[in-house]
Amino acid sequence: MTNSEYQIELSSEGDVIDDESSSLESIFWVVWIIVPIFAVVACVILLRKKPNSQSMSSGQHSHTINTAQVQSNVIPCFSCRQPITSMMQGCPSCGARYHTTCRVETCLNCGVSSSTFVNVE
CATH number for position 84: 2.20.28
Same domain, 36 and 62: yes
3 in any annotated domain: no
Report how far residue 45's alpha carbon sits from residue 51's, in angstroms, rounded to the nearest whole number: 11
SS (H, E, C) 58-95: HHHHHHHHHHHHHHHHCEECCCCCCEECCCEEECCCCC
* 79 and 55 fall within a common domain: no
Number of domains in the chain: 2
Is 8 within a domain?
no
Q: What is the mean pLDDT of residues 46-71?
A: 59
Contacts of 109 (CB under 8 A, 6+ apart): 78, 91, 94, 96
Average pLDDT of every residue of the chain? 79
* pLDDT for 37: 92
Instruction: Tell me phi and psi for residue 23, to 5 degrees.
Output: -70, -35
Listed residues 73, 91, 111: the one ending a domain: 73
**81 in the same domain as 49:** no
114 residue type, one letter: S
Q: Determine the Cα–Cα distance for residues 80 and 102; give it in Å rounded to an integer.
A: 8
Residue 92 shares a structural domain with residue 59: no
Please give the share of the chain, as a percent, with pLDDT higher than 90.
21
The model's confidence at residue 121, banded by pLDDT at 50, 70 and 90, is confident
Cα dihedral 55→61→63→66 (10° resolution):
-130
Which domain, by its residues, includes 94? 75-121
Burial class (CB in 10 A: 0-12, 13-18, 19+), 56: exposed
